[in-house]
Structure 1
Amino acid sequence: MVQPIVTHTIEPRSIDTSSVTESAFHSVSATYATDDLADPHSLYAQLRRTTPVMKGDILALYGIPSQADYANTGRPVFTLFRHADVAAVLRDDKTWSTDLLKDGLGTFLGEMFLSARNGESHRLLRRLLQPCFAPDVTRRWRTHVIAPLVEREYGGQWRARGRAELMSDLAMPFPILAIYAILGFPDDPASVTQFADWALQILNGPQIDPEKAKASMARAFEAADLLDEHVRGVVAARRRAGASGEELIDRLIRTEVDGERLDDGQIAGIVRMLLPAAAETTTRTLANLMVHLLQDERLLARVRTDRSLLPRALTESMRLEPVAGFLARRALRDLDIGGVTIPAGSAVSLVMGSANRDEAMFADADSFDLDRSQQANLGFGYGLHMCIGMPVARTEVEVAADMLLNLPNLRLDPDRPAPRLHGLQFRGPDAVHLRWDTK
């Protein structure tokens, strides 16, 4: 019999991310941003026309860490800008491998880093994880964890405030609170903030500058070790308690495929893999969606009036401004793309932010269109390595956005600077100042 989900009581405004976690978040932003390219989309459009397969890594050219060569090995790298080429690489796991990811974040995330696995190893782990993120599970989390958390932490209190800064007040702390409750961690506000800080230190590990890399890599390794140690303790405690709940750790303990199960170390590794995404990409996805809505009065009115459009609005926002602007693969054989020879062992840097605005795939590609077909959107990845936590991330963003849209006359604060999206990878705003009516 399915046990009722155990929800966690977290006192309102119990999380303060204004210190170490907020600092770590902005450090990640600085690592993946560049002052030399304020509008990457104009450049991408030009390169789709003139150099759709570019020799070299555009991220490295702008001094930004790249999945294509996180370890700075000097391997040949090519950058792909067209939707057709990017999608073809992502769906062909016989020709393209993700094993190069082990050199970067995989160094800190360990053997359970799903994105770096290929072949049977990837298929088995994904089969073990898939039931834990099934649609019915996500719906239960929405009803019993995510929606109550949003209302308790933000809904009632925010209505009387009249103003807020979206990033520090909601977009940073909320995804951390949500994944913490979904996982089944004990109620400990200090640990929530500490886990989030460790996750962000891991993301900030890879650097282009060798001197910066020495310090950031050391911090990332230390953060990964501390995170692993603490998560193992939580997993062991949940196993001793019977692991009968619907929290994610309990489900990971119970999941079984063909007699294969996960041990405590493997589950800790999976949790360590999930936390950076919860502390980073969900934050920026929510912020980017709200910026798109608030900068277009007609769009905002349409979605506010018909909340069933929120999922479509989120998908379109992810198309226009995917947080993960780049993915990478390694060629397993020599091949030709657009007349350019890609030798075996070379890497390709896949520009998701360009592919999602390819005029050959999307009419009026630079516009926000709620009614366009969304099947070709690569915002959450594509193919066998599509983000397994996508349903949870989408649910968190939709629930939080729905709460925000309930605020009367929600608008950007005209007395504060307008939000600006920046960064090539981990793209989003640093601040979004909001106002709304309180009467």
Structure 2
Amino acid sequence: MSAPVEGNLEQVFANVASNYRGSDVDLHAVYREMREKSPVLADNFMARLGVPSIAGLDPDRPTFTLFKYDDVMAVMRDATNFTSGFIAEGLGSFFDGLILTAMDGEAHKSMRNLLQPVFMPETVNRWKEAKIDRVIREEYLQPMVPSKAADLMDFALYFPIRVIYSLIGFPEDRPEEIAKYAAWALAILAGPQVDPEKAAAARGAAMEAAQALYDVVKVVVSERRAQGAEGDDLICRLIRAEYEGRSLDNHEIATFVRSLLPAASETTTRTFGTLMTLLLQNQAVLERVRNDRSLVSKAIDEAVRYEPVATFKVRQAAKDTVIRGVAIPKGAMVSCIVTSANRDEDVFEKADVFDIDRRVRPSFGFGFGPHMCIGQFVAKTEIQCALNAILDLMPNIRLDPSKPAPEIIGAQLRGPHHVHVLWD
């Protein structure tokens, strides 16, 4: 099969980042002002920033943007009155099949109940011991150690891809193929575009990539089923999964696995990069984490609150409603600015401070409510293993003063592009 996407993985990753970068503004300052002056805005705020948003697909549907924690929480937890089915018109259209984020009501609930056990801590912890930790340490970090210097984003781009494809059940002896599939998955993310001239080409490339990815996943699913599906990998577990007498066919499994792939690596890459940036910029906190590994999970959760990768989530009003005195008609799009909600001063004390000791409250980096990210425990486990391994293998890790300092940027998919470090 010829690759539908030109360019290597690094280039495709950079293209996705530039597509969602948006205006060069201090987002946190802008959001602080919106929380104060326009907590419910009758407009598509992300479009103002030049970021493609599913809310803008149909110009006849009004869009409202929410900036306060309580409003975002109310919308995210209420899947009855704020629905997600419209997602099938946008990114979901590249998948044509089972995509959880585009399902509502009982269909979503029963499908999630079928899939959820595969992603529970009991399963992921077995994967952690057998695969995740070993891959990160032996295949990636140990070979890097003698060099005493690196751009951690080079590592961050590849290890989540290697891990998730291994967990899914792809053959492990074909790294070039995995990199190619990962580039296809990222091309799907680049499908939505603001620029009309780029939109048609990007959409065509995304559709091609989605089909190519489906084809390779379907082959693996068919092979695993023919072999009896006795393995511990994700595909075998999905083949064996059953809920209220319902199980999945090959098409459903292939489309679901394909829908996981764009976010499964990309989000983990950026979250890890952001976490390392925040720790390296706060050496005292880094030392505390090094000396007390029970703080690793707290550091990850605080990084996800402080700088979530996906900065907003969109829902559609299922009926006429009112939020803070603003009338929102049935059918309107509601854009929930997660980054703003996560720094709401009414909820988080000293919200603009990276503080791993803060009292734990729900934040929205992995979504919230019925559509909370199904794979979040896998992602957190990968990041936990990576941070622990770095602290074990790279003594006195610090930012490289001879290189540009890392910057967390992007109006939608936020994260650093480089994290240059040294160690002893």
Using the size of structure 2 for normalisation, the TM-score is: 0.97
Q: How does 1:226-241 map to 2 (within 5 A)?
A: 226-241=212-227
Is 1:401 paired with 2:387? yes
Q: How does 1:164-175 map to 2 (within 5 A)?
A: 164-168=150-154, 170-175=155-160
Cross-structure match for 1:24: 12
Report the Cα distance in structure 1 between the residues aligned to 2:268 and 2:90, rounded to whole angstroms: 21
Is 1:33 paired with 2:17? no
Is 1:178 paired with 2:163? yes
Report the Cα distance in structure 2 between the residues aligned to 1:162 and 1:236, rounded to whole angstroms: 44
2:20 is aligned with what amino acid? Answer: Y
CA 1:74–1:165 in 2, change beyond 3 Å: closer, same or farther?
A: farther
Report the Cα distance in structure 2 between the residues aligned to 1:429 and 1:297, rounded to whole angstroms: 18
Q: How does 1:236-385 map to 2 (within 5 A)?
A: 236-385=222-371
For the 8 Å contact 1:67–1:327, the answer to whether it is kept is: no
1:95 is aligned with what amino acid? Answer: N
Cross-structure match for 2:405: 418
Cross-structure match for 2:420: 433
For the 8 Å contact 2:68–2:340, the answer to whether it is kept is: yes
Cross-structure match for 1:7: none
Report the Cα distance in structure 2 between the residues aligned to 1:383 and 1:114, rounded to whole angstroms: 13
Is 1:197 paired with 2:183? yes
1:207-244 deviation line (CA, Å, top 9, x unaligned): 01111101100000000000001110010001111110
Q: How does 1:135-146 map to 2 (within 5 A)?
A: 135-146=121-132
Share of identical aligned residues, percent? 46
1:296-337 deviation line (CA, Å, top 9, x unaligned): 111111111111100000000000100010000000111110
CA drift of 1:370 comes to 1.2
For the 8 Å contact 2:274–2:303, the answer to whether it is kept is: yes
1:431 is aligned with what amino acid? Answer: H
Report the Cα distance in structure 2 between the residues aligned to 1:74 and 1:282, rounded to whole angstroms: 35
For the 8 Å contact 1:97–1:118, the answer to whether it is kept is: yes
User: What's the Cα RMSD here?
Assistant: 1.2
Is 1:84 paired with 2:70? yes
CA drift of 1:426 comes to 0.8
1:135 is aligned with what amino acid? Answer: P
Report the Cα distance in structure 2 between the residues aligned to 1:156 and 1:400, rounded to whole angstroms: 12
Which stretch shifts more, 92-101 or 326-335?
Answer: 92-101
1:434 is aligned with what amino acid? Answer: V
Report the Cα distance in structure 2 between the residues aligned to 1:278 and 1:332, rounded to whole angstroms: 29
Report the Cα distance in structure 2 between the residues aligned to 1:72 and 1:94, rounded to whole angstroms: 22
Q: How does 1:44-123 map to 2 (within 5 A)?
A: 44-69=31-56, 71-123=57-109
For the 8 Å contact 1:98–1:116, the answer to whether it is kept is: yes
Is 1:131 paired with 2:117? yes
For the 8 Å contact 1:199–1:279, the answer to whether it is kept is: no
2:399 is aligned with what amino acid? Answer: L
CA drift of 1:186 comes to 1.1
Report the Cα distance in structure 2 between the residues aligned to 1:240 and 1:161, rounded to whole angstroms: 45
3-state SS in 1 of match to 2:402? coil
Report the Cα distance in structure 2 between the residues aligned to 1:394 and 1:216, rounded to whole angstroms: 31
1:27-50 deviation line (CA, Å, top 9, x unaligned): 01001112431x100010011000
Report the Cα distance in structure 2 between the residues aligned to 1:210 and 1:191, rounded to whole angstroms: 32
2:139 is aligned with what amino acid? Answer: E
Structure 2, unmatched stretches of 5+, are 1-6
Cross-structure match for 1:209: 195
3-state SS in 2 of match to 1:266? helix
For the 8 Å contact 1:243–1:254, the answer to whether it is kept is: yes
CA drift of 1:74 comes to 3.6
1:425 is aligned with what amino acid? Answer: Q
1:284 is aligned with what amino acid? Answer: R
3-state SS in 2 of match to 1:353? helix
Report the Cα distance in structure 1 between the residues aligned to 2:203 and 2:217, rounded to whole angstroms: 21
3-state SS in 1 of match to 2:147? coil
Cross-structure match for 2:4: none
Cross-structure match for 1:11: none
Structure 1 segments, 4+ long, off by >6 Å, are: none
CA drift of 1:111 comes to 2.6
Using the size of structure 1 for normalisation, the TM-score is: 0.93
Report the Cα distance in structure 2 between the residues aligned to 1:226 and 1:155, rounded to whole angstroms: 31
For the 8 Å contact 1:288–1:429, the answer to whether it is kept is: yes
For the 8 Å contact 2:264–2:375, the answer to whether it is kept is: no
CA drift of 1:72 comes to 4.1
Report the Cα distance in structure 2 between the residues aligned to 1:111 and 1:266, rounded to whole angstroms: 6
CA drift of 1:179 comes to 0.5
2:289 is aligned with what amino acid? Answer: V
Report the Cα distance in structure 2 between the residues aligned to 1:122 and 1:272, rounded to whole angstroms: 17
1:359-412 deviation line (CA, Å, top 9, x unaligned): 000000011111112222222111010000000000001101111122111011
Report the Cα distance in structure 1 between the residues aligned to 2:306 and 2:79, rounded to whole angstroms: 26
Report the Cα distance in structure 1 between the residues aligned to 2:135 and 2:229, rounded to whole angstroms: 22
Structure 1, unmatched stretches of 5+, are 1-18
1:435 is aligned with what amino acid? Answer: L
Report the Cα distance in structure 1 between the residues aligned to 2:28 and 2:49, rounded to whole angstroms: 15
3-state SS in 2 of match to 1:328? strand
Report the Cα distance in structure 2 between the residues aligned to 1:164 and 1:45, rounded to whole angstroms: 35
CA drift of 1:279 comes to 2.6
CA drift of 1:149 comes to 0.4
For the 8 Å contact 2:82–2:317, the answer to whether it is kept is: yes
